[in-house]
Structure 1
Amino acid sequence: MFSGLSAFPLTPLDQGEIDEAAFIHLMERLTDAGVDAIGALGSTGNYAYLSRRERAQIAQLAVTHAGNIPVMVGISALRTRDVLDLAEDAQAAGASTVLLSPMSYQKLSDDEVFALYETVTRTLSVPLCIYDNPGTTHFEFSDELHGRIAHLPNVGSIKIPGVPADPDAAKARIERLRALIPAHVTIGVSGDPFAATGLNAGCEAWYSVLGGLFPRTALAVTRASQAGYAEEALRLSERLQPLWTLYREHGGSLRVLATAAELKGLVKSPCLPSPLRPLEGAGRQALSRVLDELQLT
């Protein structure tokens, strides 16, 4: 459940409402490809823009259409009270695990973040994945804080942001963190451009936005690294450099992959919650060319 490729699909909208048919189709692509796990309501799943009812709807759809693949459901919210409610909804839907980031408006302290995870893990009947995503939460975990939280009950994995590009530095970073956490807690890399390096450095999982839309492409990278073919994993990732460039140019992966889903006819346009907007004009044209060149699957 906390190893291999964990694919994070979009939550597509149509006229501001959940597009159930499109979401189910995205889920079918993931199950057909045979991903190792599915992550619903991550950042690409636009959890922060959805109501509790909408999030419960997506959690239920994800579990229903995942087949035998375990589903991780995001439960992040501003207030601990709401996180606990969302955890109940995810568990009621049949989620195999939950994903929690320290979402905030006021900047949180380390003690406040620890208290959040301490409170939530006490109530869970499923494992929890710590979601370290400073690009959206503006909270930066220290390795020491990760270590404190990882020793709480029901913690199963840590989803870290991208690792250093240098393979030796990446390995050293993973080893520093691993020395502070229990043996049963896995480390998963996010930040798609860094995935091959992270997997080669010892991360057990890739928590992948790319995999949520193009699972076979992401699986090729993952399986190469898992089989010990580090150079092949890096080569497959390097081939995707035009896509990684678009990530950097447009503030991350969300708008790029939402637009890609629109261009591929997998979702209706616009599929993002307002005020978010997909790529337009030159950016959209550049992405269309990249998709034609790369032939992602």
Structure 2
Amino acid sequence: MSPSGSALADVVAIPVTPFDGNRVDQATFVRLLERLLDAGVHVVTPNGNTSEFYALTARERRELLELSGRTVADRATLVAGIGLDVQTAVEEGRLARSAGATMAMVHQPLHPYISSQGWIDYHAAIAGELGELGIVLYVKTPHVTGEMIRELGERCPNVVGVKYAVADPVAFARTREAAGPTGSPGSPASPSLTPSAMPCTAPPASPRDW
């Protein structure tokens, strides 16, 4: 697993986006970040799904990125949520890099009829333009297979992980196996396939964790 991907083995926290009227409540957002950092969270993802990514304007997403970069600094790993069209994803990935992010999580494409090759090409276009960032794939549909992840990883060595948000342990196991023996699509990046909403895949906690 790459140095970037190894951070995904920890808790990855996605802060909500507080508003005061029609504006981002910057002070409250910073307090939320500080609370996460003080609690020992080592990976923070602004502009994630829980952040209401699809409801935010480009200006608001940039605002959250910049606030996160200044607040997190070197205290945690910053993974920025990006997506929508390829150009927007690339532009916001570059903004994220300048804000201090080392990885970007690409939200699942919105088009309901995207083909398997279209899914691969979409992510490859983004990853190819953001070579300095580790790319995390956000998978929310069982139509994305391990074979697709493997092919994408072979094309893009900076793909470092997958957030698998399909609440089906059998599908998760099948996808992980097809993607590679370690959750890797076979690329030098050796990504981790990170389950979402599936606690059965997490390692058991020890008393010291509480």
| TM-score between both structures, scaled by the size of structure 1 | 0.60
- Change in CA separation of 1:162 and 1:105 when aligned onto 2, cut-off 3 Å: closer
Q: Distance in 2 between matches of 1:131 and 1:4?
A: 17
The secondary structure found in structure 1 opposite 2:17 is: coil
User: Which of 126, 133, 143 is 1:126 aligned to?
Assistant: 133
User: Which of 69, 72, 95 is 2:76 aligned to?
Assistant: 69
Please name the residue that 2:3 is paired with.
none
Please name the residue that 1:159 is paired with.
163
Q: Which amino acid aligns with 1:141?
A: V
Please name the residue that 1:251 is paired with.
none
- Kept in 1, the 8 Å contact 2:109–2:119? The answer is no
Residue 119 (structure 1) shift = 1.0
- Structure 1 segments, 4+ long, off by >2 Å, are 162-166, 169-180
Q: Distance in 1 between matches of 2:109 and 2:174?
A: 28
- What does 1:131-210 align with in structure 2 at a 5 Å threshold? 131-134=138-141, 140-151=143-154, 152-162=156-166, 164=168, 174-179=176-181, 181-182=185-186, 184-191=190-197, 194-195=198-199, 197-200=200-203
What percent identity do the matched residue pairs reach? 21
- Kept in 2, the 8 Å contact 1:170–1:198? The answer is no
- Kept in 1, the 8 Å contact 2:146–2:174? The answer is no
Q: Which amino acid aligns with 1:140?
A: H
Residue 98 (structure 1) shift = 0.3
The secondary structure found in structure 2 opposite 1:65 is: helix
Structure number with greater Rg is 1
- Kept in 1, the 8 Å contact 2:78–2:101? The answer is yes
**RMSD, aligned α-carbons:** 2.6
User: Which of 38, 47, 50 is 1:44 aligned to?
Assistant: 50
Q: Distance in 2 between matches of 1:171 and 1:76?
A: 26
Q: Which amino acid aligns with 2:180?
A: R
Residue 102 (structure 1) shift = 2.9
Q: Distance in 2 between matches of 1:51 and 1:61?
A: 15
- Change in CA separation of 1:142 and 1:175 when aligned onto 2, cut-off 3 Å: closer
| TM-score between both structures, scaled by the size of structure 2 | 0.83
Please name the residue that 1:213 is paired with.
none
Unaligned runs of 5+ in 2: 1-6
The secondary structure found in structure 1 opposite 2:44 is: strand
Is the counterpart of residue 88 in structure 1 residue 94 in structure 2? yes
Q: Distance in 1 between matches of 2:24 and 2:9?
A: 29
- Kept in 2, the 8 Å contact 1:122–1:153? The answer is no
Q: Which has the higher helix share?
A: 1
Q: Which amino acid aligns with 2:185?
A: I
Residue 10 (structure 1) shift = 0.5
Q: Deviations over 1:49-99 (max 9, x none)?
A: 11111111101111211142011001111x212111211221121212100
- Kept in 2, the 8 Å contact 1:6–1:38? The answer is yes
Q: Distance in 1 between matches of 2:15 and 2:91?
A: 23
Unaligned runs of 5+ in 1: 201-220, 237-297
- Change in CA separation of 1:165 and 1:84 when aligned onto 2, cut-off 3 Å: closer
- Kept in 1, the 8 Å contact 2:12–2:41? The answer is yes
Q: Distance in 2 between matches of 1:43 and 1:146?
A: 21
Q: Distance in 2 between matches of 1:140 and 1:16?
A: 37
Q: Distance in 2 between matches of 1:170 and 1:47?
A: 24
- What does 1:1-297 align with in structure 2 at a 5 Å threshold? 1-67=7-73, 68-77=75-84, 79-124=85-130, 125-134=132-141, 140-151=143-154, 152-162=156-166, 164=168, 174-179=176-181, 181-182=185-186, 184-191=190-197, 194-195=198-199, 197-200=200-203, 224=205
Q: Deviations over 1:129-151 (max 9, x none)?
A: 011123xxxx7311111111222
